[in-house]
């Protein structure tokens, strides 16, 4: 296998100068994530300078450095390392013949990205690439591009934003052949003021499409017409997905599977496919339709995509399911949705909770952030979803959850706590045989700590 980057390649891509020849097989900007043979990019942030961590990166085995001044060790020197990372990502995109898919949305983008990757990984025999974790911002996207091997056949990149104009810059780096918007919801509405403005910002993803590019949009969204209008300015073709009769990729039939997922028959533009979505919840049926639309758009193997969806189990923080031992000697089910939350994803996962067979349903719900002046109404507005799920105990974490507690008063048993430390012992002690517990909240609430505590009692 040839190196991911040589010092000569890096210098040419960034306009920098190499101290001496070297080769690297990975790229990192966090010294804690450096593995042997990586290029360490010394980025400057508001509170830290990556150049201060060069000794740690070299000790971890870094094979080369991208810096803005001479240092000890093999390096390429540039005027600005952040711009150097951008240029390295752009060069990685320019040198590949891979079919590139970009994914954005208020919810579901990471799961859709992972499902697409697994589908392409199967059909390319390992020649697929995707952005890791949720590396979807102005640093994560060029990093993910820079990590893409030249021989990649399919690349899948998640793109996020919380201000207008951010996606425009990212998609022009990625230059996708296919651009997907999964859903529109009031995530980050504090910075936009309305869902319509969020939809307009998400539609920026279409601006980077290649000449033959395909835009994939949610047919059932109230903002479908807006997305369609924006997409037609840049896309060679627009494909819609959803359960509505007029969608290009739509559900013909669906029914619950015995293992908790959904059996689906879907009509695509040029094929009909029956498959299983292993992940539970109606929102995952929608994600699966977007995946199949993208696979069809790039001429991929739909049967392999169906198998990938059938094999895909829960992602940590995004639907992973674990069986737990309870104090009374029984078993409970944990649904881990602790990574993030907005009103749409809260409703979707609460609906999923309501479909679970359970002796009692417990919802541990953390505050939703960046909702601005709509925070009170959007938190309180979850009451109908909690009631519909037949929740037997709602544990509400954070001051923002006060409106929901008020709306549920006298209808659903509620425990209100200030922060995650108050639930680390309470929830494990309350679990009993037959319980199903959903844990969901914005990442900053820290409910992953509760998941970690609960997982200590996972059934082997």
- State how far the Cα of 258 lies from the Cα of 250, in Å rounded to an integer: 23
- State how far the Cα of 177 lies from the Cα of 101, in Å rounded to an integer: 6
Could you read off the pLDDT tens digit of each residue along the chain, which spans 460 residues? 689 999 999 999 999 999 999 999 999 999 999 999 999 999 998 889 999 999 999 999 999 999 999 999 999 999 999 999 999 999 999 999 999 999 999 888 999 999 999 999 999 999 999 998 778 999 999 999 999 999 999 999 999 988 889 999 999 999 999 999 999 988 777 777 888 999 999 999 999 999 999 999 999 999 999 999 999 999 999 999 998 889 999 999 999 887 778 999 999 999 999 999 998 888 899 999 999 999 999 999 999 999 999 999 878 888 889 999 998 999 999 999 998 898 988 998 999 999 899 999 999 999 999 898 899 999 999 999 999 999 999 999 999 999 999 999 999 999 999 999 999 999 999 999 999 999 999 999 999 999 999 999 999 7
Count of alpha carbons within 13 angstroms of residue 49, beta-carbon side: 6
| 173: its two tokens | 């780096």
- State how far the Cα of 129 lies from the Cα of 50, in Å rounded to an integer: 26
Q: Which domains does the chain have, with CATH numbers?
A: 5-80 (3.40.1390.10), 96-311 (3.40.1190.10), 320-455 (3.90.190.20)
What DSSP element (H or E) covers 253? strand 249-256
Q: What is the pLDDT of residue 1?
A: 63
Cβ atoms 20, 7 nearer than 8 A? yes
Q: What is the pLDDT of residue 404?
A: 97
| 81: its two tokens | 């390392």
- List, in sequence order, every beta strand (DSSP E) within 29-84: 38-41, 64-67, 75-77
Alpha helices, H only, 1-80 = 7-14, 54-59
Residues near 146 by Cβ (< 8 Å), separated by ≥ 6? 5, 27, 85, 88, 89, 92
- Cα–Cα distances in Å, from 133 out to 136, 225, 237, 283? 9, 31, 30, 20
| 48: its two tokens | 């830290």
Q: What is the pLDDT of residue 460?
A: 74
CA 44 distance to own-chain centroid: 26
- State how far the Cα of 267 lies from the Cα of 206, in Å rounded to an integer: 24
Longest dimension (CA), the chain: 72
Q: How would you label 238-269 residue by residue, b for 16+ Cβ within 10 Å and e otherwise?
A: bbbbbbeeebbbbbeeeeeeeebbbebebbbe
């Amino acid at each position: 296998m040839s190196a991911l980057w040589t010092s000569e390649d890096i210098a040419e891509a960034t306009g920098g100068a190499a101290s001496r020849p070297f080769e690297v097989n990975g790229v990192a900007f966090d010294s804690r994530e450096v593995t042997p043979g990586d290029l360490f990019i010394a980025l400057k942030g508001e509170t830290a300078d990556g150049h201060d961590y060069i000794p740690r990166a070299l000790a971890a085995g870094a094979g080369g450095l991208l810096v803005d001044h001479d240092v000890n060790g093999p390096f390429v020197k540039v005027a600005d390392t952040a711009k150097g990372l951008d240029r390295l990502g752009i060069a990685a995109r320019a040198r590949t013949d891979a079919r590139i898919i970009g994914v954005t949305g208020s919810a579901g983008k990471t799961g859709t990205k992972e499902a697409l990757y697994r589908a392409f990984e199967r059909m390319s025999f390992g020649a697929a690439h995707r952005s890791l974790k949720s590396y979807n911002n102005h640093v994560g996207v060029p990093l993910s591009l820079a990590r893409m091997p030249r021989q990649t056949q399919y690349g899948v990149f998640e793109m996020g934003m919380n201000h207008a104009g951010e996606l425009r810059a990212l998609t022009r780096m990625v230059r996708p052949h296919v651009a997907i918007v999964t859903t529109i919801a009031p995530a980050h509405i504090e910075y936009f003021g309305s869902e319509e403005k969020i939809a307009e910002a998400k539609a920026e993803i279409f601006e980077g499409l290649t000449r033959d590019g395909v835009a994939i949009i949610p047919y059932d969204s109230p903002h479908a017409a807006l997305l369609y209008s924006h997409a037609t300015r840049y896309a060679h073709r627009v494909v819609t997905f959803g359960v509505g009769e007029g969608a290009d990729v739509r559900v013909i039939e669906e029914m619950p599977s015995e293992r908790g997922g959904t059996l689906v028959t879907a009509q695509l533009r040029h094929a009909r496919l029956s498959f299983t979505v292993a992940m539970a919840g109606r929102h995952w049926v929608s994600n699966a339709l977007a995946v199949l639309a993208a696979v069809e758009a790039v001429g991929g193997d739909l049967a392999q995509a169906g198998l990938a969806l059938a094999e895909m189990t829960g992602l940590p923080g995004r639907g992973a399911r674990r069986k737990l031992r309870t104090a009374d000697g029984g078993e409970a089910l944990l649904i881990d949705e602790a990574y993030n939350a907005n009103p749409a994803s809260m409703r979707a996962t609460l609906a999923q909770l309501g479909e679970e067979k359970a002796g009692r349903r417990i919802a541990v719900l953390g505050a939703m952030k960046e909702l601005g002046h709509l925070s009170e109404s959007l938190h309180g507005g979850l009451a109908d979803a909690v009631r519909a799920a037949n929740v037997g105990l709602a544990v509400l974490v954070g001051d923002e959850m006060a409106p929901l507690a008020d709306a549920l008063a006298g209808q659903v048993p509620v425990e209100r706590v200030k922060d995650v430390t108050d639930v680390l012992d309470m929830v494990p002690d309350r679990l009993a045989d037959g319980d199903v517990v959903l844990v969901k909240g914005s990442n900053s609430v820290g409910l992953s700590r509760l998941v970690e505590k609960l997982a200590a009692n996972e059934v082997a």
